[in-house]
Amino acid sequence: MTDGPDFPGAPDPANELASDQSSLDPRDFRNALGTYATGVTIITAADQAGLPYGLTCNSFTSVSLNPPLVLWSLVVYSRNMSVFQNASHFAVNVLGASQQELAVKFAMPSSRKFEGVAWAPGLGGAPLLSGGVANFQCRTVDRYYGGDHVIFLGAVEAYSYNRDESLLFARGKYGRFVGE
Amino acid sequence: MTGGPDFPGAPDPANELASDQSSLDPRDFRNALGTYATGVTIITAGLPLACRQKT
């Protein structure tokens, strides 16, 4: 669901988890993981020149309430990896049910993702997108290799949210919540 | 959503992240996290057969 790879970089050879010895089929494994529904976020950061970067992500997870910690992961060969590796902060923008087009836009490789998108710089310059249901402004406190992904751990320094309906993603499709 | 703790374990003092220096209200922060939908799982575990035979 995140940006497609520009180049197939090899995972960290020092990481014992980064082997491909598994007999599981990655595509089928991904389909199985897709049965687990998630919300949809756009993770953003600014590069050293202050330029905005962002990508659609559904690997966001809460970690701890006190201290307030969250994580997300990015495939190691993402074209955006260096930006997030070097950024002091990132922002998690949780999308609303009306923002499916934005999710699709930020899931595709493009240098024009922010054209026509309303946003304001948050902590560390990380863009805060308008119209979502929540945002979490995070200081990057650690990074871990996890197989073919890098896991970013963030300390939440500020956040906001509202009661609007959230956008959902499951089995490769976007959707809306239907309560009991 | 998970079961309540049996005992309030102290955070790992060796972990610099395990401080409560944040000014954020945990309850409100939890409500904010709740805007992000998730599926629901039940995580299970089992003891190795050798351990089960000892009990």
For chain A, the structural domain boundaries read 26-162
Nearest of A171, A86, A98 to residue A129 by alpha carbon: A98
At residue B34, the pLDDT reads 97
> Does residue A5 carry a pLDDT above 90?
no
User: Cα(B37)–Cα(A177) distance, rounded to whole angstroms?
Assistant: 9
At residue A20, the pLDDT reads 65
**Residues A113-139: pLDDT tens digits?**
999 999 999 999 999 999 999 999 999
- Per CB-CB distance under 8 Å, the chain B contacts of A70 are 33
- Mean pLDDT, chain A, integer: 91
**Residues A70-127: pLDDT tens digits?**
999 999 999 999 999 999 999 999 999 999 999 999 999 999 999 999 999 999 999 9
At residue B48, the pLDDT reads 87
> Does residue A54 carry a pLDDT above 80?
yes
Mutant choice from A56, A161, A173 vs B, greatest count of B C-beta within 10 A: A161
Sheet holding A134-146, edge to edge: A52-57, A41-46, A89-94, A134-146, A149-161, A69-75, A61-64
Question: Measured between CB atoms, does A62 come within 8 Å of chain B?
Answer: yes
At residue A179, the pLDDT reads 76
Report helix, strand and coil shares of chain A as percent, to nearest 5.
15, 40, 45
> Does residue A36 carry a pLDDT above 90?
yes
Mutant choice from A60, A61, A66, A157 vs B, greatest count of B C-beta within 10 A: A66
Task: List Cα–Cα distances, A174 to A103, A104, A116, B5, in angstroms.
Answer: 9, 10, 22, 35
At residue A8, the pLDDT reads 46
> Does residue A177 carry a pLDDT above 60?
yes
> Does residue A4 carry a pLDDT above 60?
no
Question: Measured between CB atoms, does A67 come within 8 Å of chain B?
Answer: yes
DSSP A5: B
Q: Which chain B residue lies closest to A34 (C-alpha atoms)?
A: B39
Quick one: average pLDDT of B16-40?
86
- ipTM computed for the complex: 0.86
Interchain CB distance below 8 Å, A67 and B20: yes
Question: Measured between CB atoms, does B32 come within 8 Å of chain A?
Answer: yes
User: Cα(A94)–Cα(A26) distance, rounded to whole angstroms?
Assistant: 27
Which CATH number does A26-162 carry? 2.30.110.10
Q: Which two tokens stand for residue A43?
A: 């993770």
At residue B51, the pLDDT reads 80
Q: Is A171:A30 a contact under the CB 8 Å cutoff? A: no
pTM (2 decimals)? 0.84
At residue A14, the pLDDT reads 47
Nearest of A95, A92, A156 to residue B29 by alpha carbon: A156
- Higher pLDDT: B25 or B16? It is B25
Task: List Cα–Cα distances, A84 to A17, A43, A126, A160, B54, in angstroms.
Answer: 22, 9, 10, 22, 49
User: Cα(A106)–Cα(A167) distance, rounded to whole angstroms?
Assistant: 14
- Per CB-CB distance under 8 Å, the chain A contacts of B4 are none
Q: Which residues pair with A136 in a beta bridge?
A: A92, A159
> Does residue B2 carry a pLDDT above 80?
no
Report helix, strand or coil for A93.
Answer: strand
User: Cα(A96)–Cα(A6) distance, rounded to whole angstroms?
Assistant: 29
Nearest of A69, A126, A166 to residue B24 by alpha carbon: A69
